[in-house]
Structure 1
């Protein structure tokens, strides 16, 4: 059975969008942790906005990011979209009902990594399809912006592991309770 892992950046007030606020806190510890997340994954599972942002940025960053960039650019990507029609960047667009398509993907043996993609994370959470949540809580309050969790999304979680970086980022791993 496949595994879906959501990896998210959030502020203390729960904002996840436009994570420029994460820059001052990102260090080698988080870089190594993020590299480990990507290297253990077999494919990415992304929402349309995250896919478009990644597709625009990562092909130009491969040389500067080495093995991480090669893996990011070369691995398969499954994208939840109803508007895009021409897959690029090793992508396959999920057709029809996203929950059904992701449920089918989970019948495989690989692990799927979600980065960002809050709408997708909320949808899959409401259908109990995410196996692990890896959340980086940054020690900053931005006061406005889209929150990770949509109103109405509910999930009980149990803490699996935690560590704090030297820059004060709390890295929390949760499993469904």
Structure 2
């Protein structure tokens, strides 16, 4: 059975975006990007909200044509283009690059998707992850803590009247100060 993962970066004080939606504080260097490629390559698909998808679609389809792109960045461009993507949105989005638009999270559809053969499934974006959490669909959390304090911004885990016990499955630090905390449902 495939797992549903939530993987995201955050500041030490718990924000995934700064107060003006900025993410330029993320410390993604070649080592961290290569690690992420190794993690993502075997996945089966991405499930994203519209904002996350549009952010990715604005850069990754042609990132490997950028002469300043490093090897890991170039590799990820191909991974992103080829990976099936579902985008949850109430407004129209482009269905280029192996993308399917969905209007709402259907728990039965997600459970059936998890039961199919293939690589794990990653949900991206805290707002969408909140909807998946409400239906108890997330099996694993991969939080990349970046060595920065933002003071304010958008929290990685929006309020939700639901608690969950988690078990630490892995922790790893990178040369740039980023720490991966990987938790599985308890």
**Could you tell me the TM-score, scaled by structure 1's length?**
0.89
Note the alpha carbon deviations across 1:13-40, whole angstroms, 9 max, x for none: 1100232111xx3223211211112202
- Aligned residue for 1:58? 60
Q: Please report how far the alpha carbon of residue 95 of structure 1 lies from its aligned counterpart in structure 2 after TM superposition.
A: 4.3
Could you list the per-position Cα deviations for residues 82-135 of structure 1 after superposition, in whole angstroms to 9, with x for gaps in the alignment? 2226522211112454434323322212211233x1111111122221111111
Between Structure 1 and Structure 2, which shows a larger proportion of helix residues?
1
Q: 1:86 to 1:140 in 2, by over 3 A?
A: closer
Shift of 1:138: 1.0
1:19 aligned counterpart, secondary structure = coil
Matched, 1:158 2:167: yes
Q: 1:29 aligns with which of 28, 31, 36?
A: 31
Does the 8 A contact of 2:47 with 2:122 survive in 1?
A: yes
Paired positions, count: 174
Unmatched 5+ stretches in structure 2: none
How has the CA–CA distance of structure 1 residues 57 and 79 changed in structure 2, closer, same or farther, with 3 Å as cutoff?
A: same
- How big is the alpha-carbon RMSD for the aligned residues of Structure 1 and Structure 2? 1.8
Aligned to 1:176: 185
The 5 Å alignment of 1:15-164 reads 15-17=15-17, 18-22=22-26, 25-63=27-65, 64=69, 65-84=73-92, 86-110=94-118, 111-115=120-124, 117-152=125-160, 153-164=162-173
Distance (whole Å) between structure 2 residues aligned to residue 54 and residue 40 of structure 1: 19
Cα gap change, 1:11/1:85 in structure 2, threshold over 3 Å: closer, same or farther?
A: closer
Please identify runs of 4+ aligned residues in structure 1 that moved more than 4 A: none
